[in-house]
Chain A
């Protein structure tokens, strides 16, 4: 271990950031780091989700567990989640998870009085904490008409049916249950490195060039005004090998060569709305750092166990 340093200094270049969407490049590192980041984003960034439901009245068509399950899956804004406590190691409430440090209370009281069916949506959930509310998707940028956007439907009620309940949301991670996952999509791809053998390409007729360009199912190549084959969008390439096969079929192997760059990744992150996409990445890096700390500390201190709870045990393969 001594002597040789594998330390690298990864760079991130952000291409696009929206509230719930982000695309960035991660360079100068390898798949293990990229994948660790991905895995943490999916499963270990904490969020807040409804965890306990006390049903007072439920005369709807869906049964109690059904509604509870649906409530749990509603994304709640979780900017506070990183600073909140897990209810299992909350000192303030002895772990029963009902205190302000580790939980948020919600109420739902709906009764249908009209002849039309009433949609009970996430907007009907009343939160005790204004920072933790059901995610509102009706922002102007989404392109949906605001008047029709009513939130996530929980259940539909007909005349006379009623739903009254108290729900407690807690902090958690998606390892325990997918409802705590802040990520809708987290994925990365290797950046492709496309090399076109210009000399060989010149031997092709325009017709053949067109065929070659069309052989890719995605729009990777194009023909410029000078009738040269150029790479239009390298990242559209899905590693489908169709172009390479086409070259082979044309009897010109090596006409195009494509390699994946081993050290650069293009990440796509979409969130459920619980945290902003940019925040998700930052949180993930934070969690990753904590986990690495746990590994580092676990060798020489036993206290690490108490400090990181199950996380430390998990890190040591327990």
Chain B
């Protein structure tokens, strides 16, 4: 787009620069490093989870008002004079009512006390009181109708706009991004949902290969799907209101387009289109449908229309078909006063686009194209939920009032207002958010797993969770299309961060600078379009619709009209957007192929900021960046001054974006801010990702979320069920810009280990690593695992309650109560061992029937209900913290955090930042480790075989860069694609630094064997690499059993580690043993070591008998004697099977013979 002409308009700052060398100022930034400053500025303004916050803020500020406005009246059906009106709605401060007192809430308190972080929803109401004759209108302000869960850091949250110190006072981590809810103490995030865009014509093929144009209409009132398809050369409409497909010409006629010629004109006079339409016109004629009335009658006939039970009496002929066409068919196109022309044109455009696709397959739409996708965020989902609950509540209120009115004798005067103050909204919101099941019947929505508990394993894990996009499809579908990397994802969705396995490619993550739009009012844009010369369709003849000289103007899928010079129109719109006259997220997209201009202002589009360039010259000059550095400018002022703008995926297609300014040509319209922003948060941690084989980066994205480290600044005051912490986390020596931007340098999850890439000891095959014992002694890889145990003191029906009593200091139980304090609770700092009691609780024996004095029961009325710690033997866990609070039923809750410090051991899992995971294979004394003549001794030895097939060159560069970093004392950078812009140090400069500090340029060192003292044969590649300790540790997994518990009914060993189960010799193992002929081994494994059982078998009848201990003989209960009894061994499961079969009247008989 030629934007050259408006360069004079913007940049008012240019005029201020008198006396300065204008030529210098006008020259573009020579060094692109400077523009990077915009990224932190962007993140400062928008934050890492701005999409969630924006969406929620929009909901509580605008959307909720709209919903209430749309359902503002509750009017009694019986007496229309009685009503209640909502005048206004707003969300208050997060608070909770405790014993009638309002108490302010903060998120940390909610997390600790297991309550919901929610704020009251206040409404201003106007309602009637009294009855019959004397009705008086009253108003009330700030009536609470329920409590709305509040998103952390949103505008309703107490954390909004707080600085670091204030956040610390509230017990909150300043680096925590917010964007989630606290529901009953658990943090829940509503995942971003990916959907196909609504109200847009999508051309694709159905299962049979027929080309179809479909529109999923979605308005406040209805949702419907309309399909126009070409089948057997004829065009049909599919709508689920009709039993079968409907010939399209009949639909056109039913909408008042009786003239076939006009339809042809509307589609376009191109003979190819007419030829395609001809069979449909003929079909319509064959059916003898010529007029609107005939068409409507045809549609209403029993074979077409689906019958609905509610047919409310006789209605005018054709009226029902007409109302379907008006309200359900293409519901997004409004019909005013039975004027169907807009709908006709819409259908014509659909048909035309479909026919274009038939003639030219390129015109087909790509469903996986990001521009055809919309992201549904928490705000939209909550608004659906709220609307449903609000309407339900209003209906309930009306029904109650009607029921009251219907009652013949009413004593008190009628007052509606109490009926709206139920807790149905509160409960509904809370339940939906905590289960994640969106069951909104009104909108036919049944979705599961919409919310997830925020992953608090590592800081990056929780950040990554906020940017996760969950797919619309079910994961089982075996199609590659939606899973493939789309070129249109560039800059919007991270190309690396996706899980492996079934959800691969379907679950995506947002890139660093992506913004997701919220809805914007259409009305001003519509009027603006008409002002800018858009010709209304009403004034146009059918013929003029597809004139070669004009383009259609389509706003959010609605055809506004046409414009004769679309490019000028688009330029004007863009100019207005850059000037801030219309919203910055409105996209203007000229589609030359479809000869239309698409304007989009709807929510859920992904977009990203780009620097505007005029004829290839960036609008951002050095002066702007200087102003930014000086703090006089911020990101918004860049936006306001038209230096930067947001482009969505569609509008990107109208622009030519240069990666770097030096690559810009006169055709260039935009310049990228920084190339590394195409990656997301998780992939941003990888140094030199552009040197790695791509799947390695994907693996690292998954593994970074399992790395232990610091979770948040408030990690030690959190009471999560499981926390993994690293004892000495470090900041990576080789950082990236993203690491600094997201704060990974403050909450790291790993340590810089000196790694020697060599083979050592043979315990390093298959990616195992050899570790230095002295390093482990000094704290490398040491971690703290904290687990929560909780107990509740229940209150019972008869007013009795559990009690916690003093521990016994003498007696046989005293030993197990050693760690208890005088208050009966384990005291912090005590070492807790398995079978230790951590809470000395007693419960009353009688809890149901009323007792005389519930508060002063004798000791004998209590039975102990102590809780004992069950953990593996040999560990030394410590009671870290004990917290007491009351839950929502006012019961006393006690939480214990049990801490265990672990040093790495053989089998613990480690990983570098390049998808190279491995377990610790052996631990070797430092004196046996190789050393260099400087005295450097590695912490870790990694086998070189990990490199050739993995091709993680980035890891090698990381080693070089870190080595240079430690020797020169400066953190080196390895941002993605950062070499040209200086955000990544090149190998050349790194090598120079290495040589300057006396190392070899290639990072290899001359090394002596620690065992013999002889030099090694080869130079060893050695230096620091950032290593992460992953949460998988042997201690949690190792399991073996000799004898142990058995399942009650089969008497076989239990299953699973948690139940100390046995290790199963399965079918395949059994087959091997059979094939080998190890019959005694099979006998031993499957019988002796499993469930042997001695049975008495009657040789005569073949049934099982029993052993009579008095007579000391076996007796057959069938034969009533003990004459033919044999004793034999049988698996208990077999005996069980025989008995179960007998119980259903099947007699299994054992035939015995001598062996």
- Taking Cβ atoms with an 8 Å cutoff, the residues of A that contact B are 31-32, 34-36, 38-39, 42-43, 55, 58, 61, 63-66, 69, 73, 174-175, 177-179, 181, 185-190, 217-218, 238-240, 242, 260, 268, 270
Measured in the bound complex, the distance between the Cα atoms of B931 and A150 in whole Å is 32
In angstroms, how far is the closest chain B Cβ from the Cβ of A70? 9
**Is the CB–CB distance between B779 and A39 below 8 Å?**
no
Residues of A within 8 A of B1014 (CB): 31
B802 proximal to A (CB < 8 A):
no
**Is the CB–CB distance between B926 and A174 below 8 Å?**
yes
Instruction: Name the residue of chain B whose CB is nearest to the CB of A179.
Output: B777
SS of A interface (majority): mixed
Instruction: Name the residue of chain B whose CB is nearest to the CB of A235.
Output: B933
Q: Can you spell out 24 A-B residue pairs with CB atoms less than 8 angstroms apart? A: A35-B1010, A35-B1011, A35-B1013, A36-B1013, A38-B927, A39-B1010, A42-B927, A43-B927, A63-B878, A63-B899, A65-B878, A66-B901, A69-B727, A69-B779, A73-B779, A174-B774, A175-B925, A179-B778, A217-B998, A217-B1001, A238-B998, A239-B1006, A240-B1019, A242-B1000
Instruction: Name the residue of chain B whose CB is nearest to the CB of A72.
Output: B777
Measured in the bound complex, the distance between the Cα atoms of B926 and A181 in whole Å is 10
In angstroms, how far is the closest chain B Cβ from the Cβ of A198? 27
**Is the CB–CB distance between A64 and B934 below 8 Å?**
no
B1056 proximal to A (CB < 8 A):
no
Measured in the bound complex, the distance between the Cα atoms of B831 and A64 in whole Å is 11
Interface string of B1013-1047 (1 = CB under 8 A from A): 11100010000000000000000000000000000
**Is the CB–CB distance between B778 and A178 below 8 Å?**
yes
Instruction: Name the residue of chain B whose CB is nearest to the CB of A219.
Output: B998
| B727, B829, B1013: most-surrounded residue (chain A CB, <10 A) | B1013
Measured in the bound complex, the distance between the Cα atoms of B782 and A99 in whole Å is 32
**Is the CB–CB distance between A31 and B1013 below 8 Å?**
yes
In angstroms, how far is the closest chain B Cβ from the Cβ of A97? 19
Instruction: Name the residue of chain B whose CB is nearest to the CB of A43.
Output: B927
Residues of A within 8 A of B934 (CB): 185, 187
**Is the CB–CB distance between A218 and B998 below 8 Å?**
yes
Residues of B within 8 A of A66 (CB): 727, 784, 901
SS of B interface (majority): loop
**Is the CB–CB distance between A217 and B999 below 8 Å?**
yes
With A38-B927, A73-B778, A178-B926 known as contacts, the answer to whether A268 contacts B829 (CB < 8 A) is no
Residues of A within 8 A of B908 (CB): none
**Is the CB–CB distance between A187 and B927 below 8 Å?**
no
For window 900-946 of B, CB contacts with A under 8 Å fall at 901, 925-927, 931-935
Picked from A36, A181, A187, the residue with its CB within 8 Å of the CB of B931 is: A187
B153 proximal to A (CB < 8 A):
no
B846 proximal to A (CB < 8 A):
no
In angstroms, how far is the closest chain A Cβ from the Cβ of B244? 73
Residues of B within 8 A of A69 (CB): 727, 779, 782
Measured in the bound complex, the distance between the Cα atoms of B932 and A188 in whole Å is 8
Measured in the bound complex, the distance between the Cα atoms of B716 and A66 in whole Å is 14
In angstroms, how far is the closest chain B Cβ from the Cβ of A191? 11
Apart from A66-B784, A73-B779, A238-B998, list 16 A-B contacts with CB within 8 A.
Answer: A31-B1012, A32-B1013, A35-B1012, A42-B927, A43-B925, A43-B927, A63-B878, A63-B899, A65-B901, A73-B778, A174-B926, A186-B935, A187-B934, A217-B1000, A239-B1015, A240-B1000
Picked from A36, A42, A58, the residue with its CB within 8 Å of the CB of B829 is: A58
Measured in the bound complex, the distance between the Cα atoms of B1027 and A225 in whole Å is 51
**Is the CB–CB distance between B1006 and A240 below 8 Å?**
yes
**Is the CB–CB distance between A185 and B935 below 8 Å?**
yes
Residues of B within 8 A of A179 (CB): 777-778
Residues of B within 8 A of A185 (CB): 934-935
Measured in the bound complex, the distance between the Cα atoms of B934 and A35 in whole Å is 15
Instruction: Name the residue of chain A whose CB is nearest to the CB of B779.
Output: A69
Picked from B784, B1010, B1013, the residue with its CB within 8 Å of the CB of A34 is: B1013
Measured in the bound complex, the distance between the Cα atoms of B1001 and A218 in whole Å is 11
**Is the CB–CB distance between A177 and B1006 below 8 Å?**
no
For window 712-737 of B, CB contacts with A under 8 Å fall at 716, 727
In angstroms, how far is the closest chain B Cβ from the Cβ of A248? 17
Residues of B within 8 A of A32 (CB): 1012-1013
For window 875-899 of B, CB contacts with A under 8 Å fall at 878, 880, 899
Measured in the bound complex, the distance between the Cα atoms of B1119 and A75 in whole Å is 86
**Is the CB–CB distance between B1006 and A187 below 8 Å?**
no
Measured in the bound complex, the distance between the Cα atoms of B903 and A179 in whole Å is 15
Instruction: Name the residue of chain B whose CB is nearest to the CB of A239.
Output: B1006
Instruction: Name the residue of chain B whose CB is nearest to the CB of A66.
Output: B727
Residues of A within 8 A of B1012 (CB): 31-32, 35
**Is the CB–CB distance between A42 and B926 below 8 Å?**
yes
In angstroms, how far is the closest chain A Cβ from the Cβ of B91? 37
B773 proximal to A (CB < 8 A):
yes
In angstroms, how far is the closest chain A Cβ from the Cβ of B903? 9
Measured in the bound complex, the distance between the Cα atoms of B927 and A182 in whole Å is 13
Instruction: Name the residue of chain B whose CB is nearest to the CB of A44.
Output: B927
**Is the CB–CB distance between A189 and B899 below 8 Å?**
no
Residues of A within 8 A of B899 (CB): 63
In angstroms, how far is the closest chain B Cβ from the Cβ of A251? 22
Measured in the bound complex, the distance between the Cα atoms of B933 and A186 in whole Å is 9
B995 proximal to A (CB < 8 A):
yes
Measured in the bound complex, the distance between the Cα atoms of B936 and A268 in whole Å is 12
Residues of A within 8 A of B927 (CB): 38-39, 42-43
**Is the CB–CB distance between B933 and A177 below 8 Å?**
no
Instruction: Name the residue of chain A whose CB is nearest to the CB of B1005.
Output: A238
Q: Ordered nearest first, which 7 A-B pairs have the shortest CB separation?
A: A35-B1013, A185-B935, A178-B777, A178-B774, A187-B935, A189-B933, A31-B1013
Measured in the bound complex, the distance between the Cα atoms of B933 and A89 in whole Å is 37
Residues of A within 8 A of B782 (CB): 69
Measured in the bound complex, the distance between the Cα atoms of B1014 and A260 in whole Å is 11
With A61-B716, A178-B777 known as contacts, the answer to whether A190 contacts B925 (CB < 8 A) is no
Residues of A within 8 A of B926 (CB): 42-43, 174, 178, 181
Residues of B within 8 A of A38 (CB): 927, 1013
Measured in the bound complex, the distance between the Cα atoms of B925 and A265 in whole Å is 23
**Is the CB–CB distance between A64 and B829 below 8 Å?**
yes
In angstroms, how far is the closest chain B Cβ from the Cβ of A2? 27
Measured in the bound complex, the distance between the Cα atoms of B1014 and A38 in whole Å is 12
In angstroms, how far is the closest chain A Cβ from the Cβ of B1088? 38
Residues of B within 8 A of A63 (CB): 784, 878, 880, 899, 901
| A32, A174, A242: most-surrounded residue (chain B CB, <10 A) | A174
In angstroms, how far is the closest chain A Cβ from the Cβ of B334? 63
In angstroms, how far is the closest chain B Cβ from the Cβ of A315? 15
Measured in the bound complex, the distance between the Cα atoms of B778 and A268 in whole Å is 22
Residues of A within 8 A of B933 (CB): 187-189, 238
**Is the CB–CB distance between A177 and B727 below 8 Å?**
no
Measured in the bound complex, the distance between the Cα atoms of B1015 and A31 in whole Å is 10
Measured in the bound complex, the distance between the Cα atoms of B1058 and A175 in whole Å is 36
With A65-B901, A260-B1015, A268-B935 known as contacts, the answer to whether A217 contacts B995 (CB < 8 A) is yes
Measured in the bound complex, the distance between the Cα atoms of B151 and A108 in whole Å is 46
Residues of B within 8 A of A242 (CB): 1000
Residues of A within 8 A of B999 (CB): 217
Residues of A within 8 A of B998 (CB): 217-218, 238
Measured in the bound complex, the distance between the Cα atoms of B899 and A139 in whole Å is 40
Measured in the bound complex, the distance between the Cα atoms of B773 and A270 in whole Å is 20
Measured in the bound complex, the distance between the Cα atoms of B935 and A188 in whole Å is 8
Residues of B within 8 A of A189 (CB): 933, 1008
Residues of A within 8 A of B1011 (CB): 35
Measured in the bound complex, the distance between the Cα atoms of B829 and A65 in whole Å is 10
**Is the CB–CB distance between A238 and B1006 below 8 Å?**
yes
In angstroms, how far is the closest chain B Cβ from the Cβ of A284? 12
**Is the CB–CB distance between A178 and B931 below 8 Å?**
no
In angstroms, how far is the closest chain A Cβ from the Cβ of B107? 21
Instruction: Name the residue of chain B whose CB is nearest to the CB of A41.
Output: B927
Residues of A within 8 A of B727 (CB): 66, 69
Instruction: Name the residue of chain A whose CB is nearest to the CB of B927.
Output: A39
Measured in the bound complex, the distance between the Cα atoms of B579 and A155 in whole Å is 56
In angstroms, how far is the closest chain B Cβ from the Cβ of A265? 9
**Is the CB–CB distance between B1001 and A178 below 8 Å?**
no
In angstroms, how far is the closest chain B Cβ from the Cβ of A200? 26
